[in-house]
Amino acid sequence: MMNKTSKLWTAQFTAIVIMAFLFFLCLQLLTAGFPAFITDIKNNPAQGGLMTTVFMVSAIATRPFVASLMHKMDNKKLSLISLGFIAISVGLSFGQDSVPLLLLLRVFHGVGFGIITTIFSTMATNIIPAHRLGEGIGYYGMATSVGTSLGPMLALALLQFFSFNMLIAISVSLTLLTLFLNFFVKSPQRNVQPQAAGRKVNFREHAFDRHAFTPAILTAFFSITLGGVVSFLRELGKEANLGATISLFFLVLTIVMVLIRPVSGRMYDKYGHKFIIYPAVISGIIGLTLLAVTQHTLTLLIAAVFYGIAYGTVAPTLQALAVSAVSREKQGTANAMYFSSMDLGMALGSAGLGLLASYSSYHFIYGFSIIFLIGLLLAYTLIFVVKKQPKDQYVKTAEEIGY
């Protein structure tokens, strides 16, 4: 079905953006809250980072099956069931301090997270006009990123005055609100892939598309650093004696991303990804360098500005690359691969950097994280500049994407 309108902010797109914001806010409250809670009661940052790792790994393990489910089951019904499952599993965390039990519940959270993020992002990319894909994903990504950055800020602020159970209650409430709003969204048309000559589409074709592989791998490089920022910034604040002001990092990060996302999206549509990737990644390197040496609030906030520019630009650009590289019926697959790589990087960052912090310091792990952004730049340069990917691989017409 062709999308003949160039209007971006339809009622459906607006609803999906709001739901994405609420959902990511809900889950990121716990992504920051669980490591902080476990680190406090067990005095073990590696164990705290494991709370994020099992969450991300379970989401990664789930996503290859999501694209296939989306082809077989009504997407709205699937999202409602998944949101209900998340609300129950998060609610069961209330009042618990057993690490094995909480790890098991985090596995359930991750399964629901893997399903919902893939469905919401595919619903969004399906209704965005092809020639405004970068801008549309920029706005959608802004909602998810604002939720991602506000979540840790609110979590750390709330933990200063309330118990961890307050985070659980708020997260359940936000999940139920997202579920309620989902009732008012039209059930999207399933992306049924044509089966030439009666050929049955196998699981691998739903789970993987080679054209989306490169952007997905580059995403993992970036999200390793994000895992460290989300999971251990509070501990960096303690190490630097910054107190409660550490939560201001996420406030500044949010503001910067709100400002940069629409701009970076339009620049992507107009000039292409090469124009914005280099300055964005370099900005991230500067931000991590400042975190590695920060001893004052001002340095912390400047770091938030630079890292916010990177996060607000690199993530949606790589997602747009992945989605634009595949046909419309494979957008669910591309989104699943993108988010799986994001989660994989977060998991590796949380576990690996948490373990590294046990033997060094929190300042050190942010300096160490710079290696991954340098690796991203080198890999990007080798693939897109030196080897010069075919021009049309990441630039498709509206008809090719399926609009």
CATH of the domain at 213: 1.20.1250.20
- Domain encompassing residue 162: 11-186+208-396
Residues 168-214 have pLDDT tens digits of 899 999 999 999 988 888 765 554 544 444 455 565 666 777 888 88
- Please report how the helices 45-72 and 99-127 are oriented relative to each other, as an axis angle in degrees rounded to 10: 40
Does 54 map to a domain?
Answer: yes
pTM: 0.73
Does 203 map to a domain?
Answer: no
Does 48 map to a domain?
Answer: yes
Does 239 map to a domain?
Answer: yes
What confidence category does residue 242 fall into, taking pLDDT thresholds of 50, 70 and 90?
confident
3-state DSSP assignment of residue 286: helix
> Do residues 185 and 12 make contact, with C-beta atoms less than 8 angstroms apart?
yes
> Do residues 129 and 7 make contact, with C-beta atoms less than 8 angstroms apart?
yes
Does 101 map to a domain?
Answer: yes
Does 197 map to a domain?
Answer: no
Dist CA 59 CA 74 (whole Å): 20
Residues 322-355 have pLDDT tens digits of 888 777 777 778 877 888 888 788 878 887 888 8
Task: Indicate the DSSP class of residue 385.
Answer: I
Name the domain count of the chain.
Answer: 1
Query: What are the helix (H) ranges across 183-330?
Result: 203-207, 213-239, 248-271, 274-293, 297-324
